[in-house]
Copies of this chain bind each other. A is one copy, B any other.
Amino acid sequence: MSAIADVARLAGVAKATASRALSGRGYVSEATRLRVVAAAREIGYVASPNAASLVTGRTKNVGVIIPFISRWFFSEVLESLEQALLAEGYDMTLYNLPAASAERDSVFEYFLARKRFDGVISVGVALSEAEVDRLHRLGRPLIGIGGPIRDVHTIAIDDVATARLATEHLLGLGHVDVVHVGGDPIDEMDFRVHSQRLSGFYSAMRDAGRSTDRCFYPCEFSMPGGYEVGLSVLGDPRTRPTAIFAASDEIAIGVIVAARELGIQVPAELSVIGIDGHPYADMFRLTTLEQHPRRQGHLAVSALLTELARPTDADARPEEDGYLTVLPTNLVIRSSTSGPHRPRR
């Protein structure tokens, strides 16, 4: 284990000088700098980050808390976060936050309390008031992705508006019996995603003068979830809707698979639209509103770096503005949507 003292000895300088030479802070003559660097290379010296962060207080590490890893949106965000942080010399500690449980508490009380990071990025976690307080008390910059957190700069899409857009696309094609299949607001998995997409749907329907009775079917937020509900919603030809707005592409694809199994032509007999921009969308020719998780990840990292560069906490934040960065979604029309072909009563 070579320490900086060894490097200093080999280079014939003091520890202080060696430290300055290697970190690049403070005065060091070019000649000695080269000597120190050479010595360091010779013995394969790598600075101990523990010792450094003990005195500087910065760890070059970012904590990420996230409720799921294996779902598309989350794994995409995670990958982009990791890339962006790596490029900036930060490594990433991952905290997979389960629903309310002893493990969840331990993340807050034990792991996060250790403060082994310079900042935290919270991805789509539904935080309780107490949890938000705890995060703030850590005294570290905090950035959110996927839904607003009190007093935290958050990167997100506008779920209400996006759901509204999706619904309006179907209504604009002339559909009357439009149905929404999505996550149940009761067991809100992360943010207000379920309820917000639902409310965007409802408001678009109301604005178009449509009834909102019996047109929401909750399902598990996955492809099998959409499939299952799809089978039951589409099973009865008499009550079958002509268009379905699914809260996610995976749900939408589940619905399409169900429709195909039931012999229902998409889009001739049924239009389906989703939200996400999932890589499978193309293969199922799914019309969707693309959000861009990787872009959200990159933005979150640069927002965090900005906060980290801010000289002191006491420094007034720039006018509370820019606190919610809303990213646009874009409509990609494929052939899962068209006007209703069946005559309606």
Q: List residues of chain A with CB under 8 Å of any chain B CB.
A: 46-51, 53-54, 59, 61, 68-70, 72, 75-76, 78-79, 82-83, 86-87, 89, 91-96, 103, 106-107, 110-111, 113-116, 222-224, 227-228, 254, 257, 260, 279-280, 282-284
In the complex, chain B residues whose CB is within 8 Å of the CB of A280: 223-224
**Complex contacts, A228 vs chain B, CB 8 Å:** 283
Measured between alpha carbons, how far is A78 from B72 in the docked complex, in Å? 14
Which of B48, B75, B87, B111 sits near A86, CB closer than 8 Å?
B111
Kindly report which residue of chain B lies nearest to residue A282, judged by CB atoms. Answer: B224
Report how far A51 CA is from B107 CA in the complex, Å.
20
A268 CB, nearest partner CB in chain B, Å: 15
Main secondary structure of the interface of A (DSSP, over half): helix
Cα A55 to Cα B49 with chains together (Å): 13
- Look across to chain B and name the residue whose beta carbon is closest to the beta carbon of A106: B86
How many Å from the CB of A86 to the closest CB on chain B?
Answer: 6
Q: For residue A256, which residue of chain B has the nearest CB?
A: B257
**A94-B94 contact, Cβ under 8 Å, with A114-B49, A227-B283, A283-B227:** yes
A69 with B82: in contact, given A48-B54, A113-B46, A223-B283 (CB under 8 Å)? yes
B61 near A70 (CB under 8 angstroms)? no
Smallest distance from the beta carbon of A4 to chain B beta carbons, Å? 13
Q: In the bound complex, what is the Cα–Cα distance between A68 and B114 (angstroms)?
A: 28
CA distance A345 to B110 in the complex (A): 68
Given known contacts A224-B282, A283-B224, A96 and B114 CB-to-CB distance under 8 angstroms: no
A283 CB, nearest partner CB in chain B, Å: 5
- Name the distance in Å between A321's Cβ and chain B's nearest Cβ: 31
Q: Report A78 CB to chain B, min CB distance, Å.
A: 5
What is the CB-to-nearest-CB distance from A325 to chain B, in angstroms, rounded to a whole number?
A: 23
Inter-subunit contact A70/B79 (CB<8 Å):
yes
